[in-house]
Amino acid sequence: MPLRGVAGIPADTTAVIVNVTRVVPTASTYLEVTPGGPGDTSTLNLDQGAVRANLAVVGVGADGAIRVRNAQGSLDVVVDVQGWFSPQATVRYVPLAAPLRILDSRADGNGRFGPGMEGHSVIPCSPEPGQAILNVTGVQPTVDTFVYPLTFFNGKPNTPTTSIVNVSAGAVVANAMLSGCANQLGTDVGSIVLVVDEAGYFTPTIWAEPRDH
| DSSP single-letter state for residue 119 | G
Domain check: are 76 and 136 in the same one? no
**Is 196:102 a contact under the CB 8 Å cutoff?**
yes
Residue 1 belongs to a domain: no
The CA-based angle 48-166-144, given to 5 degrees, is 80
Residue 3 belongs to a domain: no
The model's pTM is 0.74
Domain check: are 176 and 149 in the same one? yes
Q: How far apart (Å, rounded) are the C-alpha atoms in residues 104 and 145? A: 18
Residue 110 belongs to a domain: yes
Domain check: are 112 and 67 in the same one? no
Domain check: are 100 and 154 in the same one? yes
Domain check: are 105 and 202 in the same one? yes
Q: End of a domain among 85, 115, 141?
A: 85
Residue 207 belongs to a domain: yes
Single-letter amino acid code for the residue at 158 = N
Single-letter amino acid code for the residue at 199 = A
Domain check: are 97 and 167 in the same one? yes
pLDDT value of residue 119: 45
Helices (H), 97-195: none
Q: Consecutive 10-residue runs of the chain (213 residues): their mean pLDDT?
A: 88 90 89 83 85 90 92 91 83 77 77 63 55 87 88 62 87 86 77 87 61 51
pLDDT value of residue 120: 44
Range of the domain at 67: 15-85
- Laid out side by side, the sheet with 76-85 consists of 51-59, 15-23, 76-85, 207-212
Cis-peptide, bond into residue 204, ω within 30° of zero: yes
Q: How far apart (Å, rounded) are the C-alpha atoms in residues 156 and 165? A: 23
Single-letter amino acid code for the residue at 74 = S
pLDDT digits (tens, 9 = 90+) for 80-121: 998 888 887 777 777 777 778 888 888 766 677 777 655 445
List b or e across 10-34, with b for residues whose CB sees 16 or more CB atoms inside 10 angstroms. Answer: beebebbbbbbbbbebeeebbbbbb
